[in-house]
Structure 1
Amino acid sequence: MPLIMGMSVLLACQFLGELVTRGWGLPVPGPVIGMVILLIGLLIWGKVPGSLRLAGEGLLRYLTLLFVPAGVGLIAHFELIGKDLWPIIFTLVVSTAVTLAVTGKMLEQLNRRRNRRVER
């Protein structure tokens, strides 16, 4: 029963995300909005319920299977990707650099905050 409850929470958040995205015409996928809704709910709750943890760990166990359709898509659209290879490479490099920079800055700020707490 806990697994069903956890999956229900995940699917409800995804559904709410789809409603928000389609209702407001946002250019963001519904599941992304659903993850934000789930994050807000978990921050308010203060902890991860056991049923949600169980469902999440079960999904993570088979995460590698979710890459199979992406690999098939790469093979099926190889020519199309080849035509736009340089913009794709540029986008990947820039997005990786931005991600690393933002992660580094956040880590720096969190370390400063932690050091201030330790000094008190």
Structure 2
Amino acid sequence: MSTARALPWSVRDCAGHLGVSVSHLNEAVKAAMGRTPGELLRQARVHEAKRLLACTDLTVRQVADRVGFGDPAYFCRFFRRETGATPGDFRRGGGDIHHDHRIASIAPPGPAT
């Protein structure tokens, strides 16, 4: 069983973790970053999914779970929409898909999983 802490994958979770309202978080992040928290969270989920696909032998179902998707089919649709490739194609490096096996984790420090 994994002891890694779950990352907050929704804007509502992030706002709650920070003790601010969703609207305040949206305004503050947009002003500071020029992008919405939702955009940044999607980018973070894709980044972590790519890292897990490239650097581990986890199944697509396990990767989906680690990046906050309870439904692997929905994760596959999300990943393809965001990257242009299926998780399996990305992992195999098929076509024009290239990945770097040195992708750093965005997970908080903790026990290795």
Verify same fold: TM over 0.5.
Answer: no
Q: Give the TM-score normalised by the residue count of structure 2.
A: 0.29
Q: Give the TM-score normalised by the residue count of structure 1.
A: 0.28
Q: Which has the higher contact order (CA 8 A, sep 6+)?
A: 2
